[in-house]
Structure 1
């Protein structure tokens, strides 16, 4: 049994842990069929194979068939049970993966070792992509050793400098994901550098406006507060010292960051210096897109597959209630 898969089955669940219980829950459901785009590195191929061994996904590998087989040989893993679709370039692989999702052959898309831009160009095409009426955004889920529950960080990958309206849609995507993962009323911290509203800091104005939008029902399903600095968002002691009264301070579930740069740095600082485990997924598309950094670990990729699995199963459950059954996997 692969080492990572064994760790999911044997480890004890720590207080506030979300991801490993999620894996166990998803293992009780059928594996979802996933197109794996350009798995042409050891870590990207191993991540997909581990997720398959854990019973989370049934992969369809799309990329350079020769490279994929060569990497599999170096990893000493067999790909005999999985289809491989040859593609000559990252761009061709991305287009083929998107088409598999559009046809309903695969229920999710897993980024391999290609550049995010190469994948997302195929995803966002108006006619041949995976767009919906919702804004496309990314959510990191971080489990940090010193925080008592998972943190949802958005958007640190897709939207570079979101407007107020963009932030409202990005936030609703994250709230809906939290609901899917069992957090019924998430607490949202709208991050900035300070807790007071100032015309000199645009993120404080956006935070104040988002709170009022929630009051008016334009954002639903969560408790919002902001602007909040990072320390007061996650530390009740910091909020106490600053004499800040807030229903969110010290207990945030979701962190809405001001822009991509601040969010990306925050997530990676938590991972590399804070020892956090990260998983990531793109929302607002017709299927979930499992999008991690090319440098991310095998574990991060497996954890991200579990999130996509939960999303697909929730969508299937909703479709079944409406009388429209969606298959988990279709033969090529």
Structure 2
């Protein structure tokens, strides 16, 4: 069994070299299980706007946020007071907490208006907590916004460039809590491929074993490879650094044809093949033009009135596209050349590919998005 497995692995390697496949680093095709970022979200208020904030009469939560903030600072508004402010805005805040982020480090945040503020340009975000999915506070955000969009209005006309109701604060949040990860646990790590592929998983394990020694890595399935790793955390870091720079001859992707029905974009994969088929694709164009005629009564007519009589001309033109033949095992380049020779538009190409798939002549998965 071991000899059979070794022969298969050597055969896969030689096949990849024969096909001229390009080697890729493990860090570009896989990631370590458990080493991931986490999403954070929060709510806050932006102050200091130049009259472009929320219409507080229409966004009561903005007034409530302001009232709560003033109360925390020992200022109480009179009962029934309804401040009409235009220089504050209620915003949502979201950020991504990277793996291994430590307390005291800063991360970038994105701030977006959730009221009817026209622009956040020139505003400052007041201290706001950012929470994770477990409800715990992991960072605190505050700072001056950088807004790329702007707007201007005068005499009933207005112009807006980009989106002035959203902005970013580089390094605007400070990490306050560390997220635990399983990187240092156990006696090994698991590499997860970005795109599941049995050939790539096998080749990755083979590349690791050739460098680190036989039995170091084993493919668990088409997406995961388990690798024995040192127990010492510092040695494990150096070990993963060596792993992620190893090169692997990846397997070719499955034959696919991707069609975007909204934009007419067609992407044909490298391994798409067509079985023998003859295609004839002509276009039928119907043109209807309206030429109304004005009819007037005669010069001596006692009664009558001028009327418009509709008149339409209909013309039908049928395309003279010729039939073209796909030979057995025709390649992607030949498919595109044959379709271009008959002057088919992207929409025509979609129709041809769908017909080929229905006839069983297209050896590829047809995906319409």
- Give the TM-score, by structure 1 length: 0.20
Query: Quick one: higher RCO (CA 8 Å, sep 6+), 1 or 2?
Result: 1
TM-score, length of structure 2 as denominator length = 0.18
- The structure with the largest alpha-carbon Rg is 2
**More strand per residue:** 2
